[in-house]
């Protein structure tokens, strides 16, 4: 008696299905990681743009207090903190002396349960005021 060899056996179908299942699972795992990375990159891009706009606003505002933290929020889950400090001070500074200020801005946001931060800095020209010589600030 001779058997017909047309089609696949049940064992061959089970092996092929198992191989396909492993391949699909690996593909979905890679896709999930890619989507998570894209989401993180989007969050980073959005906060970076907001932080750059804020830093530009701070660089234009010539009456920001030096040596004090200035804070604010972008959204309920993101915010910023900035500090203005003299970067280059003349040898014998006094009120009205020109100065080169460093404006450091730290932006933060929540990514899930993790708090992430970036730091940006910019520089601007300005003048010293008498308030800058009080206490721990500048001393003549």
pLDDT, position 129: 81
Mean pLDDT of the chain: 87
Give pLDDT tens digits for 26-75: 888 888 888 888 888 888 999 999 999 999 999 998 888 888 999 999 99
pLDDT at 139 over 60: no
Q: How confident is residue 5, by pLDDT bands cut at 50, 70 and 90?
A: low
CB of 83 closer than 8 Å to CB of 59: no
Share of the chain above pLDDT 70, in %: 92
- Pairing state between β 114-127 and 78-88: unpaired
* Domain definitions of the chain by residue range: 10-133
Dig out the tokens for 45 from the structure: 């891009």
Closest CA to 41 of 55, 78, 33: 33
29 or 84: which carries more pLDDT confidence? Answer: 84
Residue that the structure tokens 């309920």 belong to: 76
Instruction: Report if pTM > 0.75.
Output: no
Please name every residue paired with 103 in a beta bridge, in sequence order, or none if there are none: 84, 122
Please name every residue paired with 119 in a beta bridge, in sequence order, or none if there are none: 106
The rounded Cα 26 to chain-centroid distance in angstroms is: 31
pLDDT at 138 over 70: no
pLDDT, position 140: 43
pLDDT, position 105: 97
């Amino acid at each position: 008696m001779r058997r017909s060899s047309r089609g696949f056996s049940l064992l061959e179908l089970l092996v092929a299905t198992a191989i396909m299942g492993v391949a699909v699972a690996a593909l979905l795992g890679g896709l999930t990681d890619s989507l998570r990375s894209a989401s993180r990159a989007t969050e980073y891009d959005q906060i970076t743009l907001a932080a750059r706009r804020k830093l530009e606003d701070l660089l234009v505002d010539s009456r920001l207090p030096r040596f004090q933290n200035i804070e604010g929020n972008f959204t309920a889950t993101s915010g910023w903190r900035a500090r203005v400090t003299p970067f280059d001070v003349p040898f014998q500074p006094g009120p009205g002396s020109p100065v080169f200020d460093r404006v450091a801005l730290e932006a933060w946001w929540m990514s899930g349960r993790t708090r992430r931060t970036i730091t940006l800095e910019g520089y601007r020209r300005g003048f010293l005021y008498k308030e800058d010589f009080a206490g721990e600030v500048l001393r003549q």
